Copies of this chain bind each other. A is one copy, B any other.
Amino acid sequence: MAATRQGLLLESIQRLLRRGATARVQHLLEKTRTEDIAHLLPGLTVRDRRSVFDLLPSAETQALVLAEADRSFTQELIEPLPLQRIVEVLRALDTDDVADILRALPDEKAEPLLAALHAQESGLVEEILGYGPETAGGIMSADYFALNRDTTVTDAIRTLQERGEELDMAFYIYVINEHGHLVGVVSLRQLVTSKPDRRLSEVMEPEVISVTTDADQEDVASIVARYNFLAVPVVDENNRLRGIVTVDDIIDVIKDEATEDILKLAGAGEQLAPEAPARDHLRMRYPWLIASCISGFLAAFILEPFIGALGAFLGSFVPIVAGMAGNVGIQSSTIIVRGLATGAVDTTRSGAVVRREVLVGLALGVGYGLIVGTGAALVAWLQSDGRPPLEIVYAGLAVGLSLTASMLIAATVGAVIPLACFRFGLDPAVATGPFVTSSLDVIGLLSYFGIAVALAMALGLHG
Contacts and interface: CB of A to CB of B under 8 A. Distances in A.
Interface of A: 3, 6-7, 10-11, 33, 35-36, 39, 42-43, 68, 70, 157, 160-161, 164-165, 167, 170-171, 188-189, 192-193, 224-228, 230, 247-248, 250-252, 254-255, 258-259, 261-263, 265-268, 272-275, 277-278, 281-282, 285-286, 288-289, 292-293, 295-297, 299-301, 303-304, 307-308, 312-313, 315-324, 327-328, 330-331, 333-339, 342-349, 352-353, 356, 359-360, 363-364, 367-368, 371-372, 375-376, 379, 434, 437-438, 441, 445
Nearest to A327: B292
Given A296-B324, A348-B10, A312 B308 contact: yes
* Chain A binding surface SS class: helix
The 10 closest A-B pairs by CB, nearest first: A296-B320, A274-B339, A258-B258, A266-B334, A228-B248, A304-B316, A299-B319, A303-B316, A307-B312, A268-B331
Contacts of A335: 263, 266, 268, 272, 274, 281
Contacts of A330: 266-268
Given A315-B312, A335-B268, A327 B274 contact: no
A406 B13 CA distance: 39
Contact of A323 (B39, B170, B278, B292): B292
A327 B379 contact: no
A12 B388 CA distance: 65
Contacts of A224: 251
B192 A274 contact: no
Contact of A262 (B10, B42, B251, B258): B258
Counting chain B CB atoms within 10 Å of each CB, the highest count among A6, A278, A285, A331 belongs to A331
B285 A331 contact: yes
Contact of A251 (B251, B288, B445): B251
Nearest to A251: B225
Contacts of A313: 304
B255 A324 contact: no
- In the complex, the count of this chain's copies comes to 2
Contact of A319 (B167, B288, B300): B300
Contacts of A171: 171, 230
Which of the listed residues A278, A323, A445 has the most CB atoms from chain B within 10 Å of its own CB? A323
Nearest to A429: B262
9 contacts: A171-B230, A228-B248, A262-B262, A262-B334, A263-B335, A275-B349, A303-B312, A318-B319, A319-B441
B262 A344 contact: no
Contacts of A277: 356
A327 B192 contact: no
B157 A192 contact: yes
B319 A363 contact: no
Given A272-B335, A320-B300, A434 B327 contact: yes
Contact of A273 (B42, B331, B344): B344
Contacts of A318: 303, 318-319
Contacts of A68: 226
Contacts of A337: 262
Contacts of A339: 274
A170 to B, nearest CB: 7
Given A331-B268, A347-B7, A371 B293 contact: yes
B317 A274 contact: no
